Amino acid sequence: MSDYGKDEKMLILKNGYMLDPSSGTEGYYDIMIDTEGGRIAKIVPRGALAADDTEIIDLNGQTVAPGLVDVHVHFRDPGFTHKEDIHTGAAAAAKGGFTSVVLMANTKPAVDNLETLAYVWNKGKETGIHVHTCANVTMGLQGKELTDMESLSGQGAAGFTDDGIPLVDETLLRAALQIAAKCGKPVSLHEENPAFIKNNGVNAGKAAAHYGIGGSPREAEISMVERDLRIAMEEEADLSIQHISTKEAVELVRQAKKKSSHIFAEATPHHFTLTEEAVIRHGTLAKMNPPLREEADRLAIIEGLRDGTIDMIATDHAPHSVAEKEKPLTEAPSGIIGLETALSLGIRELVDKGYLSMMELIGKMSLAPARLYHLDAGYLKEGGPADLVVFDPKKEWVVKEFASKAANSPFVGETLPGVVNYTICGGKVVYRG
């Protein structure tokens, strides 16, 4: 096996088992990449490409798929770069097989103005992957005054969100959805009504009882999801329910999707893998918003992924420092990192257990999120973007070292299937395993 040199104009990925969720094509193909143009030049059955003076990577039957797309990540830049920055976040993404990410906007300053939007865009261009960002719905995430959504959209904001803080004001949300629909951009919402929550990050059930705290009840999510689905359908605006955590919310989305094509939902790997038992075992390393809930909720999320109710998998990659996570449970920040373990957890929990095919998993981690955010990503086609991930779904690895600045993960020490060996973005190898 050989890597191509910087001066090569063409690269052939030979003997790979290709999965393309856009066309449904799978099988053994050779892929020729124009490394200067950053596009796929040819896709042909294996053995049919001439290889004279062309650098070759022999994949030996490994899986080759579109580069993964994560539309819910926190790179903490600007303002909280002791946790993560755009460069280290991009490195974590590439290591996990992601070639496109959409950043959340709860930075400091927030992405509620054109200057901060330009800062994130320009810094993202310095990385080897495609870094997009949402802008805020409200100024300073205060939920009181809308940002200039049209100007932010015109300057490249991929969508709008106040992720981390719910939009309590119904009138403001309706106005935001109207503007977003006009701009052709999605609004993604964090669905937890603070009026119900005594202690965030921990389910108001067995886990909260274990720690002797009030916790966050399921009603906090259910009430917001019910309201926001209704408003989005009335306004015919694209709405994404972020990191869904309850079986009731899954069912609400399921019924709404029967009435409207504007409703979308995402699930995190931790919500389809873990329950509140993990918070009892791991403490702050399993504290997150919304919290891990019960086994019935976990299974409902998996069923939602299986039947198409939940369109996509997104990590909610949320890095924090060791010192922050070492605080008492009620004081430590919520969230875990997820970019480097997402594909493996999808393989272990969804594919290997028979809930999804590998093609379906890749579709939910590439094509579906790309379509919602109107990104040129998530498919393999001649003339299409040369953004690919090459991985061995059977080979195992131990979770212990991260490209991220952070290591706040309850999966540290676990052995997982699915080793990413190459991530290729814009025709360039940006990660080698």
- Residue 330: how many other CB atoms lie within 10 Å: 16
Task: Report the distance separating Cα 351 and Cα 149, nearest Å.
Answer: 39
Strands 415-425 and 98-103: unpaired
Q: Provide the β-strand partners of residue 64.
A: 18, 390
Closest CA to 361 of 378, 343, 380: 343
With b for 16 or more beta-carbon neighbours within 10 A and e for fewer, the 133-152 pattern comes to: bbbbbbeebebeebbebeeb
Angle at which helices 86-95 and 114-124 pack, to 10 degrees?
Answer: 50
Cα gap 160→167, rounded to integer Å: 12
Catalytic option among 163, 238, 316, 387: 316
Residue 34 appears among annotated catalytic residues? no
Dihedral (CA of 88, 121, 141, 366) sign: negative
**CB half-sphere exposure, 392, CA atoms < 13 A:** 12
Query: How far from the centroid of its chain's Cα atoms is residue 353's Cα?
Result: 22
Asked whether the beta carbons of 148 and 183 are under 8 A apart, the reply is no
CA dist 106 → 74, 110, 117, 129, 139 (Å) = 8, 5, 12, 21, 11
Tell me the catalytic residues: 316
